Structure 1
Amino acid sequence: MLQRIQTIYLLLAAGVSAALPVFLPYGIDSDGVELFAKEDFFLLGLFAGSAVLSFIAIFLFKNRQLQFVLGRINILLNFILLGVFVYWSLTVSGETKVSEKGIGMIIPIISIVLLVMANKAIKKDENLVKSVDRLR
């Protein structure tokens, strides 16, 4: 049902993945220009994919197993995004792309935390339904 707590977590995760990369820079290049995800098609695609997966999972409340699997896939996608940010931040020595780290690099961490809390609530609902079915 749409009034469950996991819906709020998934909606927040979708909002974080969709809105924050547009406004928060993930780094500053060697010229002092802030780098945003909206300027990089690869990052924008990963963030948009994460937001779409979260939004789709909201409406799969009747199929909790698929909702849980989509949450896991979304967590994996955010770990890949976090890995890209870590890789770019560790290759700073040649001043290739990112000279300084920005606040936007923590967006995948926030999204992962929200998705883990949503998956925990989905699992709790699934266990509740199974326990009620056992009593019939």
Structure 2
Amino acid sequence: MIQRKQTLYLLAAIIMTVICLCMQIGSFKLGGISVAKVYNLWYTDPIGKHHFDTWPLMAVLLPTAVIATYTIFIYNNRKMQALFCLFNVLFIIGWYVVFFVVGQMVGDKSWGAVVFRPSWPAVFPAISLILYLMARRAILADEKLVRSMDRIR
């Protein structure tokens, strides 16, 4: 049901999540010089070698896109849709926790006195979180409307 506004919210959240999965989400800097580029699945060291120490970021963010896609297609079960939106919100909060931990742990063990700097695509999960909350609100409003129509009959 693409005409429902919660479907559009979910679709926009999926797009934001996929963009975040594909782009650089941060870098490690040593004295203002970039030492490594951080992606959701790996980080690239100064030599150009990929290290897959940041895979938990991908493991936490990827299910949100999958769950949201599934949520669009279960439009008949609004209670389950609202529950899946809540799961996605929790996943994104977990992603930010893992994002912070990875930024601290990977930098400390690899180069010593480096500073982790997030880049602008790291904001996309927060935008997705807002969109999931808006979708959940619209789903619950639809459920309330359907229940009120059932009472009238």
- Tell me which interval the TM-score lies in, with the shorter structure as reference length: 0.7 to 0.9
Alpha-carbon distance, 1:95 to partner? 4.0
2: CA distance between counterparts of 1:83 and 1:129?
37
Offset at residue 117 of structure 1 (A):
0.5
Superposed structure 1 runs of 4+ greater than 6 Å apart: none
2:87 to 50, 64, 73: 73
Q: Which runs of 5+ in 2 are unaligned?
A: 43-53
Equivalent position to 1:120, from 137, 140, 144: 137
Normalized against structure 1, the TM-score is what? 0.86
Q: Distance in 1 between matches of 2:6 and 2:109?
A: 40
Q: Which deviates the most, 42-51 or 27-36? A: 27-36
Cα deviation per residue 1:49-98 (whole Å; 9 max; x = unaligned)?
A: 11001101000100000011011111100110011223345x38x64476
Q: Which residue of structure 1 aligns with residue 97 of structure 2? A: 83
More strand by share: 2
Count of residue correspondences:
133
Shift of 1:111: 0.9
Where does residue 147 of structure 2 map in the other structure? 130
Deviations 1:25-64 (A, max 9, x none): 2211246132111423221222211100110100010000
Q: Of the candidates 40, 45, 64, which is equivalent to residue 50 of structure 1?
A: 64
> How well do the aligned residues superpose, as a CA RMSD in angstroms?
2.0
Give the alignment's TM-score, normalised by structure 2. 0.78
Task: Answer yes or no: is the 8 Å Cα contact 2:21–2:62 preserved in 1.
Answer: no
The question of 1:12 aligning with 2:12 is answered: yes
Larger Rg: 2
The residue identity in structure 1 corresponding to 2:130 is V
Distance in 1 of aligned mates of 2:101 and 2:57: 13
- Identity among equivalent pairs (%): 30
Structure with the higher helix share, 1 or 2: 1
